[in-house]
Amino acid sequence: MHVRVNGVRLFFDVEGAKLVPDGPVMREKPTLLMLHGGPGSDHSIYRPAYSALADVAQIVYLDHRGNGRSEDGPRESWKLAQWGDDVAGFCDALGIVSPIVLGASFGGMVALAYATIGVVTLPVMSLVAGTAAFGWHPLRLPGTGVELATGPALGRLAIVLGFVLISELVVAALAFLLSVLTDSPLGAVGGAVGLVIVSNILDAVTALGSWRELLPTHWQFAWLDALQSQVSWVGMIQGSAISVSYALVLFALAFRRFRAKDIVS
C-alpha cells in the first residue's frame, strides 16, 4: 500500500488488526511502527521475525523515502530531518496516535529525528490549542504567585524545552549505540529504558552521596528551576554538562561502529 506524504508516495504494510474482540467489547491494540535500517534496505528485514508481535499489537512497516518500494523524491531531501518529518506526516495521514516506534541502525536515527519533532511540536500545539480555547494570560509561576508577560513566559518555556531535549541526549545516544551493536531493536530499546530505571534507583540511594550527581537522571527535574521567580541555572548547567558528556562518548562509539558495520545486510 502507498500513501502520499510530503509530496512522496511512501510504501507501508500492516500486520494484525487494530481492534480485537475482548468479551462483549472491542479492545484497541497499540500500534508498533517499524523503521528499517539502511539506507538501501526496506521493511522486509523485520519479517517474519516480528510477525509474532501481531498478537499484542498492530504492526505497521514503513519504507523510508528513497528505500524499498517508496518513491525516491528529490535526492537533496534525503536528510534525517526529512525522514523524521516523513514519519510524523505518515502517522498524521493514517491517523496513528502515540505509536510505539522501533528502529534499527539507520532506522534508529530516523526515530530520534521523529522524536525530536514530537518533543518540539507538542508544547507548540498545546500553546496554540490552549490560546484558542482560553485566550492568552500571563504565566503564573507555581508556588510563587509571580506572573510573567508573554515575552518572558515564552522564554522560560523555551528554556524548559531546551533542557529537556539536552537531558534526553544520553538516553538517545545509548539507544543509538545499542541499535548498531545488535540486530534486535527491542534490545536497544530495553537497554535505553534500563539505563533510566537503574539510574533512578541508584539516585535514590542517599549513601552514594555526591556520586549521584554523575548519574544521567539525577538532574532530570532541574528544569523546574526555570519556573522560579529568578531562574537558577546551576542545576540545568550541571545536568546539561553530564548529559552532553555521556552523549558525546556514546555517539562517537556508535558512529565508529556504524561506519564499520555492514548496514545493508
Where are the chain's structural domains? Answer: 1-136, 138-265
Judge: domain 1-136, CATH 3.40.50.1820: yes
C-alpha span between 30 and 13 (Å, rounded): 16
pLDDT recorded at residue 86: 94
pTM of the model: 0.61
User: By C-alpha distance, which of 254, 252, 253, 223 is closest to 240?
Assistant: 223
pLDDT value of residue 265 = 46
CA distance linking residue 254 with residue 114, whole number of Å: 19
**pLDDT number for residue 62:** 95
| pLDDT score at 262 | 56
Q: What is the mean pLDDT of each run of 10 residues along the chain (265 residues)?
A: 94 92 88 89 88 90 94 91 92 90 84 80 78 79 78 87 87 82 71 85 91 91 88 92 93 82 53
- b/e per residue, 91-130, with b = 16+ CB within 10 A? beebeeeebebbbbbbbbbbbbbbbbbeeeeeeeeeeeee
CB atoms within 10 A of CB 239: 23
pLDDT of residue 108: 81
pLDDT for 261 equals 64
Contact 46, 38 (CB under 8 A): no
- The pLDDT value given to residue 82: 93
